[in-house]
Amino acid sequence: MFAPLALTHVLPFLPLAQDGVDYQVDRRDDPELIRTLLSSDATRVILVQSGRVAIPKGQGRFVDYDVAKIRLTTLAGSYVRDLIPDSMGGDFRSSPHAQCIPIFLGTRAGHSYVALDISEGIIAAEVPNPRNVGADDAFASDGPTRASADARPSILELARTRCDWVGLREFAPHASTVEAGLATTAATLSMWHRAQHYCPYCGAATTSVFSGWAQRCQNAADDNRIIFPRIEPAVITAIVDSQNRLLLQHNSAWKPGFYSVSAGFVEAGENLEHAARREAREETGIEVSDLMYTGSQPWPFPSSLMMSFKGYARDTAIHVDGKETESARWVSRDEFIRALTSGEMLAPGKATIARYMIEEWYGAQF
């Protein structure tokens, strides 16, 4: 279960964070793990390509409806087992542009979860009879089950056409916390594997190891070094003044009318509080005194970790640079809700930590 990290944690559970999935890190270095898991129909496989996850066909239109629920397409392990070549051992990518990449996501409630990144690979595999293996409905309607050898459909081709594909921003507000967390891990590692094909130290090709959680450099002279995905820390700060007004800003890169709180990446040599104060000063000219940690959220676009603070302003005189930050203003709760309802101001999306920070200040969802 989700548990707060510290007594100062005031934000609720945030979309995209993990909820109750046991990572079982000690199993990842077993090169046979993926194949073993896919031999069991208790293993659930989710599909990811280029940072988007597969959902049942037709559910994609629900992203525009607040109350609609969306789930992941899940396949039984045996449904995709034949996609994993026998000869590759623990390394599932023999060249930068070949094969799909399986990722062991962990276990929950008796089920193991494997994500299959199909961003690039299209591999022909016979489709088992879905009634025998409990495959997702998306594949059970009229799919050929024993096609002739030369007309055999690829399961990945089926997935591409029989699923809708959505990004995490669209999926998370409509998903269970468990599935949003699984999708976040899968999409994060998927995007990393797709962005990095070569060792950043020696330039040799890499292969996926540790069940998708790392890469190994293929150069023996570089000791076949193991490379882990980088996670980039960022700070985000809700700044209030002595009258509990909130400081909102509009950046030039944002769509017109969109307002949010101060945020930026942690730079070399900084601790979190230095980064939060520096960003506030750079963006709005506001000096922040006390800072309180309020929560964190993985933000895999592509690989950030957002750490949120509440800050108190020493003064209220705003100075923006007019370039990166176009404007900034203090708002009371009444002014804020009036600006929202009139359409003058747009708030951050429902999957974002910024939204939760503003709702915490406002005292209610909006």
Give the interface with Zn ion as residue ranges (CB under 5 A).
Answer: 199, 201-202, 204, 217, 219, 222
Specify the 3-state DSSP secondary structure of 180.
helix
Which two structure tokens, joined as six digits, stand for 234?
């960022």
Nearest approach in angstroms of CB 215 to Zn ion is 10
For Zn ion, which is the closer residue by CB, 204 or 318? 204
Q: Are 17 and 11 in contact (CB under 8 A)?
A: no
Q: Are 262 and 236 in contact (CB under 8 A)?
A: yes
Nearest approach in angstroms of CB 298 to Zn ion is 27
For Zn ion, which is the closer residue by CB, 151 or 220? 220
Nearest approach in angstroms of CB 218 to Zn ion is 8
Helix then strand count (H, E) for the chain reads 9, 15
For Zn ion, which is the closer residue by CB, 222 or 344? 222
Q: What are the residues whose beta carbons fall under 8 Å from the beta carbon of 188, sequence distance 6 or more?
A: 229, 298, 300, 302, 303
Q: Report phi then psi at 74, rounded to 5.
A: -125, 140
Nearest approach in angstroms of CB 104 to Zn ion is 24
Type and span of the H or E element at 227: strand 226-227
Nearest approach in angstroms of CB 266 to Zn ion is 27
CA distance 13 to 338: 27
For Zn ion, which is the closer residue by CB, 122 or 202? 202
For Zn ion, which is the closer residue by CB, 40 or 219? 219
CA distance 285 to 345: 22
Q: Output the CA torsion sign for 98, 90, 35, 183.
A: negative
Nearest approach in angstroms of CB 288 to Zn ion is 42
For Zn ion, which is the closer residue by CB, 119 or 219? 219
> Of 64, 42, 53, 54, nearest to 137 (Cα)?
54
Please list the residues that pair with 54 across neighbouring strands.
Answer: 165
Reported as half-sphere exposure (CB side, CA atoms, 13 A), residue 129 has a value of 3
Nearest approach in angstroms of CB 205 to Zn ion is 9
Terminal Cα distance for the chain, rounded: 27
For Zn ion, which is the closer residue by CB, 167 or 229? 229
